[in-house]
Structure 1
């Protein structure tokens, strides 16, 4: 049911995502944006290019995010045409500034920005907030009332969507003959200094998602890991997925289900890091590795996005 406070007000919703190149030729410029204007080395460009070529030459992130936005707008407008949903990427096109300008041109009366990473981190999510605020200034849109949804790690429909994916994977593994398996939860790693200095609640945010899922589907054995550490030469949050796979192999495990709860759609960290990188590593350790299907346009996930928005309109 649409929240009554949303009635008769045109609300713009901007889904904020990291962004990804849609062709390998754009990778140097894409990496330059990520690094704040500094060009990457030839070696780094070559390595990232090889990863994108391994998943087909482009990321599906933009296509999936567009589909999520379209499904969300349809869902929100079940009782009237009051919402417009846009997408804005922090590191690629369409940029956040483009989304803000489009919303302003459409005459929205308020804006809600929702970061498509459920677990808040000062190292990552806050950068989206800063980019969004910069876009408001650049578009002279400071007069539009705005809200920024930065944390929704245990939104009920989000947990339900993850549980649905886990149960489907569990059923598939049992059909393949794996009555027991190790579940490895993952989120994107961040520099550990942010957590050690007590300025980032990321670990607690991660645990909210994990606990919400495990309350519905108790599972044993399970592990908590961090993946896709960056190329910045600093300590990153651990344990890494590789360390957990080593532990499972040493304990005589046979099957592993990777459960990436820090990501809401297929992109390079899913299609390469897990499906290619971790799978190869697991095979070398004598393990069979599987993963849960990404949320993508799951109806429950679209409902979760809507729920997070309605909660902020109350």
Structure 2
């Protein structure tokens, strides 16, 4: 990276994440934010509350994202004070608007918004872009130069970070006597209409991540699935993880490694959907289910975030 690019210029990097409640008492408000101000039914609130209680009563997403931001700021600055890294959540606190306002108050000369979902989707990522643009308007920050990093599914260090997690899991499974196992890649599902209508490149984005990892760590057999379908009554991208586990069991498989490559830290979709829900489902099918460790604050992942930022400054 050319030193002239950053010399004397204060750059604010805003990490954009979904957000999650840190206590069960906040779940009704959290769900209302997700639904654009519409309150959820008592049944839905109860179901989500039970899930959060099952993982300890709160999500670690904010704490982990703060750790990512602090590590990224150190890595970008390399002992200098050119970059400031902020956190902006779309559905919980600190909100994106708060992050933009803080960056403006700190006198940032330019902003880079980085969505922490590597695979771009019009159904999800574009909402972050819209929320970010709205925040710029509300904060009267429209005169600050901005770049929005919305797609980085095969950023080299990201692939390295995922490959590192896979190798560690593979070694662990073999140490436990599972010389052969099925690998199931997962990302968050989205309504299938977006893909069927040809307006969303999400599947291709997913495949970029998957192919990058498989070039580094060949594996057989492997499967591509979608998880954590929402409560909206519409068709979602398939196959689901449950369908995939059914097929593996029918083929006589015994051990399964879930490899969530659409998520970059532990939160409800990891700690409940996989570690509790899918594990119980797998057991019912006679399968033993494992999971790769989340990236969280992996040094290689922090390098990936920095790489994505630098690539957009060059």
What TM-score do the two structures reach when normalised by structure 1? 0.99
1:178-217 equivalences in 2 (<5 Å): 178-217=178-217
Corresponding residue number in structure 1 for 2:90: 90
Q: Distance in 2 between matches of 1:224 and 1:2?
A: 39
Shift, 1:240, TM fit: 0.1
Q: 1:189 to 1:251 in 2, by over 3 A?
A: same
Q: Does 1:244 align with 2:237?
A: no
- Indicate the residue corresponding to 1:44 in structure 2: 44
User: Which residue is 2:165 aligned to?
Assistant: 165
Cα displacement (A) at 1:3: 5.4
Over 3 Å counting, the alpha-carbon distance change for 1:3 and 1:309 in structure 2 is: farther
Counterparts of 1:239 and 1:221 in 2: how far apart (Å)?
A: 16
In the alignment, structure 1 residue 66 sits paired with structure 2 residue 43: no
Deviation at 1:96, TM superposition (A): 0.1
SS at match of 1:87: strand
Runs (5+) with no aligned partner, structure 2: none
User: Shift of residue 5 of structure 1?
Assistant: 1.1
Per-residue CA deviation, residues 141-200 of structure 1 (Å, 9 max, x unaligned), is 001000000000000000000000000000000000000000000000000000000000
Q: Distance in 2 between matches of 1:218 and 1:63?
A: 34
Hey, what does 1:113 align to over in structure 2? 113
Gaps of 5+ in 1: none
- Could you tell me the TM-score, scaled by structure 2's length? 0.99
1:273-304 per-residue CA deviation (whole Å, 9 max, x = no partner) reads 00000000000000000000000000000000
Counterpart contact for 1:2–1:79, Cα < 8 Å = no
In structure 1, the residue corresponding to 2:312 is in which secondary structure? helix
User: How well do the aligned residues superpose, as a CA RMSD in angstroms?
Assistant: 0.8
Q: Distance in 2 between matches of 1:61 and 1:8?
A: 33
Q: How does 1:1-314 map to 2 (within 5 A)?
A: 4-314=4-314
| 1:4 positional shift | 4.1
